[in-house]
Amino acid sequence: MVANTIKFLLNNELVKIENLDPNTTVLQYLREEQFKSGTKEGCASGDCGACTVVLAELDTENSGQLTYKSINSCITFVGNLHGKQLITVEDLKEGAQLHHAQQTIVDNHGSQCGFCTPGFVMSSFALHKQNNTPNRAEVLEALAGNLCRCTGYRSIIEAAMTSSKDAREDSFAKHYQATVAALTELEQLPTPALTGNGHNYIAPKNIDELATELTNEPKSTLVAGGTDLALSVTQNLATIDKLVYVGNVAELTTIEETETEIIIGSALPYSEFIDTLHHYYPDLGEMIERIGSKQVRNTGTLGGNVGNASPIGDMPPALIALGATMTLHVQGQERTILVEDYFVDYKKTVLKPSEFIKSIQIPKPTAGQTLKLYKISKRIDDDISAVLAAFFIEQEITENGQKITNVRLAFGGMAAIPKRSPVTEAILLGNSLTKALVAQAKEALTTDFQPMSDVRASDKYRMTVAQNLIEKCYIELQSANARKVIETRVVNHA
Ligand SMILES: Cc1cc2nc3c(=O)[nH]c(=O)nc-3n(C[C@H](O)[C@H](O)[C@H](O)COP(=O)(O)OP(=O)(O)OC[C@H]3O[C@@H](n4cnc5c(N)ncnc54)[C@H](O)[C@@H]3O)c2cc1C
Ligand code: FES
Ligand code: FES
pLDDT in the model for residue 312: 94
In-domain check, residue 287: no
DSSP 3-state of 3: strand
Pocket test for ligand 3, best of 47, 48, 105, 150 (most atoms within 8 A of CB): 150
* Tens-digit pLDDT profile for residues 417-442: 999 999 999 999 999 999 999 999 99
C-alpha distances in Å from residue 202, one per residue of 41, 51, 72, 180, 289: 26, 25, 21, 24, 31
Q: Are 71 and 180 in the same domain?
A: yes
Q: Are 182 and 128 in the same domain?
A: no
In-domain check, residue 276: no
Q: Are 479 and 405 in the same domain?
A: yes
Q: Which domain-ending residue is among 169, 202, 229?
A: 169
pLDDT in the model for residue 173: 97
Q: Which domain-ending residue is among 149, 169, 189?
A: 169
DSSP 3-state of 4: coil
Q: Which domain-ending residue is among 169, 188, 205?
A: 169
Nearest alpha carbon, ligand 3 atom 4: 148
What's 156's domain CATH number? 1.10.150.120
| Selection from 274, 294, 285 nearest residue 160 by Cα | 294
Give one DSSP letter per residue of 134-199, joined into a string. Answer: --HHHHHHHHTT---SSS-HHHHHHHHHS--TTSPP-HHHHTHHHHHHHHHHHHTSPEEEEEETTE
Q: Residues enclosing ligand 2, CB less than 6 A? A: 41-44, 46-51, 72, 74
How many angstroms is it from 304 CA to the middle of ligand 1? 4
In-domain check, residue 53: yes
The answer to whether 151 and 110 have CB atoms below 8 angstroms apart is yes
Assess whether the C-beta atom of 235 lies below 6 angstroms from ligand 1: no
CA distance 493 to 442: 37
How many angstroms is it from 222 CA to the middle of ligand 3? 36
How many angstroms is it from 126 CA to the middle of ligand 2? 17
Ligand nearest, relative to CA of residue 147: 3
Give one DSSP letter per residue of 467-484, joined into a string. Answer: HHHHHHHHHHHHHHHHHH
pLDDT in the model for residue 487: 67
How many angstroms is it from 115 CA to the middle of ligand 3? 5
Total structural domains within the chain: 3
How many angstroms is it from 347 CA to the middle of ligand 2? 26
CA distance 53 to 118: 9
Give one DSSP letter per residue of 357-372, joined into a string. Answer: EEEEEEEPP-TTEEEE
Q: Are 106 and 205 in the same domain?
A: no
Atom in ligand 3 nearest the alpha carbon of residue 110: 1
The answer to whether 230 and 76 have CB atoms below 8 angstroms apart is yes
What's 193's domain CATH number? 3.10.20.30
pLDDT tens, per residue, the chain with 494 residues = 777 899 999 999 999 999 999 999 999 999 999 999 999 999 999 999 999 999 999 998 888 999 999 999 999 999 999 999 999 999 999 999 999 999 999 999 999 999 999 999 999 999 999 999 999 999 999 999 999 999 999 999 999 999 999 999 999 999 999 999 999 999 999 999 999 999 999 999 999 999 999 999 999 999 999 999 999 999 999 999 999 999 999 999 999 999 999 999 999 999 999 999 999 999 999 999 999 999 999 999 999 999 999 999 999 999 999 999 999 999 999 999 999 999 999 999 999 999 999 999 999 999 999 999 999 999 888 888 999 999 999 999 877 778 999 999 999 999 999 999 999 999 999 999 999 999 999 999 999 999 999 989 999 999 999 999 999 999 999 877 766 666 666 666 76
Atom in ligand 1 nearest the alpha carbon of residue 228: 29
Ligand nearest, relative to CA of residue 40: 2
Q: Are 83 and 191 in the same domain?
A: yes
In-domain check, residue 354: no
Burial zone of 110 (CB within 10 Å; 0-12 exposed, 13-18 middle, 19+ buried):
buried
Assess whether the C-beta atom of 48 lies below 6 angstroms from ligand 3: no
CA distance 293 to 145: 5
In degrees rounded to 5, what are phi and psi of residue 125?
-60, -50
| Selection from 20, 31, 27, 115 nearest residue 75 by Cα | 27
Assess whether the C-beta atom of 116 lies below 6 angstroms from ligand 3: yes
Nearest alpha carbon, ligand 1 atom 9: 291
Phi-psi region of 290 (alpha: psi -120 to 50; beta: other; left: phi over 0): alpha
Contacts of 471 by beta carbon, 8 Å cutoff, 6+ apart? 438, 442
CA distance 421 to 450: 11
| Selection from 250, 377, 405 nearest residue 314 by Cα | 377
| Selection from 311, 308, 292 nearest residue 357 by Cα | 308
Q: Are 475 and 411 in the same domain?
A: yes
Q: Are 439 and 414 in the same domain?
A: yes
The answer to whether 307 and 267 have CB atoms below 8 angstroms apart is no
In-domain check, residue 298: no
> For residue 122, how many C-alpha atoms fall within 13 Å in the half-sphere facing its CB?
31
In-domain check, residue 327: no
Atom in ligand 2 nearest the alpha carbon of residue 46: 3
pLDDT in the model for residue 485: 66
Q: Are 219 and 70 in the same domain?
A: yes
How many angstroms is it from 56 CA to the middle of ligand 3? 26
Q: Are 187 and 233 in the same domain?
A: yes
Q: Are 111 and 216 in the same domain?
A: no
Q: Are 179 and 41 in the same domain?
A: yes
What's 389's domain CATH number? 3.30.390.50
How many angstroms is it from 350 CA to the middle of ligand 3? 46
In-domain check, residue 52: yes
Nearest 10 degrees: Cα torsion 241, 245, 251, 256: 120
C-alpha distances in Å from residue 191, one per residue of 210, 330, 340: 11, 20, 35
The answer to whether 110 and 159 have CB atoms below 8 angstroms apart is yes
How many angstroms is it from 111 CA to the middle of ligand 3? 6
Q: Which domain holds residue 397?
A: 369-492
Assess whether the C-beta atom of 109 lies below 6 angstroms from ligand 3: no
Q: Are 21 and 55 in the same domain?
A: yes
Q: What is the DSSP letter of 266?
A: T
How many angstroms is it from 314 CA to the middle of ligand 1? 10
In-domain check, residue 342: no
Nearest alpha carbon, ligand 1 atom 12: 313
Strands 191-196 and 2-3 come out as: parallel
